[in-house]
Structure 1
Amino acid sequence: MNRRQFNLALLAGAAVAVGGAVWVHLPASDQELSLAAISRELRSLPLANLDSNGAWSISEIFQHLAQSIEYSLTGYPQAKSALFQTVVGTPAFYVFSRKKAMRHPLDEPIPGAPLLQQQIAPELALQRLLTAIEQFQQHQGRLAPHFAYGELSASQYALAHAMHIRQHLTEFSVNGTQIYG
């Protein structure tokens, strides 16, 4: 690692620390954050009336969420540096897990992941996500290190996935009304 990379990592860590310090004082989420509860919510979404308020379509959001869970089982295509994981990723996950909520750019793809496909029907993308959740819940082996957080236990990963899905659900609306806040 060169000096520039080191300085950028330190700056990113400081930004996360400051932002996290402010955000962590907000009340924690009281919503159930289990993959079982999230799966039930996903199955009850009114797909025919669902709109995305974000940069990605409903299908692309489901594909992105499925990728994240699948990669926790098989390995992420690219990982952030060990320094990033230590200085930024681990503290960020700590803050997220304390808040039971995640904050990240909602149009940021997983590093190295294939492009999301606009032409895939939302129903198929949702089924892929539900299948990924089921596979994760049934998985008994070792989990791949997270690309930003590094090594996570199965319960930490389940929480990370649930928070990730929950944050992306805030992009959904029905007839212009946001359904998750």
Structure 2
Amino acid sequence: MTILFRMARLLRADIHALLDRFEAPDLILSQALREMEQALDRDRQELARLERESRWFAEREAELQRLARDEEGALTDCLVAGQDDLARSVIRRRLERERQAESVRRGAAGIAETRAGLEREIAARSGRLAELRAQAALHEETQVEDPMHPRAFDLDAVSVVRDADVEIALLRAKRARESRS
């Protein structure tokens, strides 16, 4: 049983090695790098969108604060003039603004939390991408070409005969001739 198990493991390993050779790991690695870069770009675009929303919330909060100051002055004027009906409408607007301001603060807090999480994720992905790029560079440097792979055959390099090769062949021919004589 163990012999069959070992043979099956060896066969499976050979099949995996053959598949790896056909899949071109360098192409798979470069594709993975491109996909990680695209995901990182999408995250950065999302972060830019969140920053725009954050600015909008800040502008809206500032506008609501300005309106609250204006309404406070109007309320004071209404109370001094004894205009209770006008004071009620100003108070109603002030209460509406306070609720809007609370909603804006909650929205801004949610955006800030989402931004912080996305910034952490971008930092982590950037680190992983840098590591993967370093591994890819190391893989390219240390990759040994398979001598039987068709790309490994450089016909020009094979057909070039050096002077040293000619001299060695001449010496061998002379030695073979002398041994026959």
TM-score by length of structure 2 reads 0.23
The answer to which structure, 1 or 2, has the higher relative contact order (CA under 8 A, 6+ apart) is: 1
